[in-house]
Amino acid sequence: MTLELRGVTKQVAGQHWIHATDLVLAPGSMNVLLGPTLSGKTTLMRLMAGLDQPTTGHIHWQGQDVTGRRVQDRGVAMVYQQFINYPSMTVYDNIASPLRLQRVARAEIDRRVRETAAMMRLTPMLDRRPLELSGGQQQRTALARALVKGAGLVLLDEPLANLDYKLREELRAEIPRIFEASGAIFVYATTEPEEALLLGGNTATLWQGRVTQFGPTPQVYRRPQDAVTARVFSDPPMNFKPVQVSGGEAVLDGTRWLVDVPDGRYVAGFRAPHLTLDPGAGTVGLSARLDATEITGAETYLHLRHGEDRWVGLVPGVRDLPAGAALTVWLDPAHVYLFDEGGRLARAAPYAQAA
């Protein structure tokens, strides 16, 4: 039950939508495809499903080459961002339809439909039609239909993106439970780093049609291989600042701290929550200018300008600061990643190495 992509590429009208990709998804694993819009998540997923054929390369499923095999024979399941159900059928018939096509016995169909519906909390809605349900229930119906057939590969393409906040939280909490119960390979596409972290499993970060890194989610988050991965896997995006290392010391705004990398030019990267407005033990002060603040109830986003670089800071509490003000923000060097000039990771942030 392994899905393997070998040198898969996809070109449309001369443009590379997916660059050569090798990916091995282990049996019964949760895999998150993380990347911004148009990074190739959906394209990659459609290749996995067999809805589109790769331009070059092969897709192996359970050791067999399934490249070019009809999607009907692939035994996959897929849920879209839009709530896709069969509007003319009841919820019961919607869930039952893949089983009927597999010519499962009637009693068995009934048992499995009711079991799946109970898991998705749809039991009271079985006689209704999908369009008479709320968005969350419609998406549950789509999920139920994807799960009921017991496919070995379940593809979820931003399944929660069209739901309102509350429902999204609710359903997201259920997905790991559903995943545990199914034993299938799950592939889950999302644009949100937070969602990837909550789901756990493995994460593949995508950027402009390339898988930049694939590995256990916490590891990809804490030790991104390169600056692009770090940027994709940070929300708000990671802040960057060129630094010079000489004599084992990095210099930033006149402040120095010890680093264990060879001398040269590097790019320092750090995430928004690691900027603070108050100095702490061992922190480095950086003078910046405030462009704007965004207050989200309990937290404040600071949009800063440091020389030519734009940074985003996230500090707890409501901080009402005047736009245009000069202020000093503080950064613990333990939270700073160093990337070399080619963008490869030179040194992970010490706090991440410890974790």
Site membership for another protein, residue 53 (CB under 8 A): no
Of 31, 43, 67, 97, the one binding another protein (CB under 8 A) is: 97
Q: Among 31-39, 64-72, 230-238, 309-317, which window interacts with another protein (CB under 8 A)?
A: 64-72
Q: Residue 117 phi/psi, 5° resolution?
A: -60, -40
Residue 86 structure tokens: 């069969």
Site membership for another protein, residue 78 (CB under 8 A): yes
75 vs 279, beta carbon nearer another protein = 75
Closest CA to 122 of 109, 97, 139: 139
Rounded to a whole number of angstroms, the minimum distance from the CB of residue 36 to another protein is 21
Rounded to a whole number of angstroms, the minimum distance from the CB of residue 157 to another protein is 9
Residue 334 structure tokens: 């333990």
HSE (CB half, 13 Å, CA atoms) of 286?
Answer: 28
Rounded to a whole number of angstroms, the minimum distance from the CB of residue 51 to another protein is 6
Of 2, 9, 55, 82, the one binding another protein (CB under 8 A) is: 82
82 vs 255, beta carbon nearer another protein = 82
The CA–CA distances, whole Å, from 257 to 36, 249, 273, 350 equal 34, 5, 20, 12
87 vs 324, beta carbon nearer another protein = 87
Of 20, 84, 327, 352, the one binding another protein (CB under 8 A) is: 84
The Cα–Cα gap between 52 and 5 comes to 14
Closest CA to 250 of 222, 274, 286, 276: 286
26 vs 131, beta carbon nearer another protein = 131
Site membership for another protein, residue 145 (CB under 8 A): yes
77 vs 160, beta carbon nearer another protein = 77
Residue 292 structure tokens: 């704007």
33 vs 142, beta carbon nearer another protein = 142
Query: Could you give the residue ranges of the DSSP H alpha helices within the chain?
Result: 41-49, 91-101, 106-119, 135-148, 165-182, 193-199, 217-222, 227-232, 350-354
Of 35, 40, 54, 98, the one binding another protein (CB under 8 A) is: 98
3-class secondary-structure state, position 315 = strand
Site membership for another protein, residue 149 (CB under 8 A): yes
Of 24, 101, 292, 323, the one binding another protein (CB under 8 A) is: 101
80 vs 240, beta carbon nearer another protein = 80
The Cα–Cα gap between 28 and 25 comes to 9
Site membership for another protein, residue 86 (CB under 8 A): yes
The CA–CA distances, whole Å, from 271 to 35, 217, 246, 315, 346 equal 17, 17, 24, 12, 17
The Cα–Cα gap between 55 and 43 comes to 12
Name the residues that contact another protein, by CB under 8 A: 49, 51, 70-72, 74, 76-78, 80, 82, 84, 86-88, 97-98, 101-102, 142, 145, 149
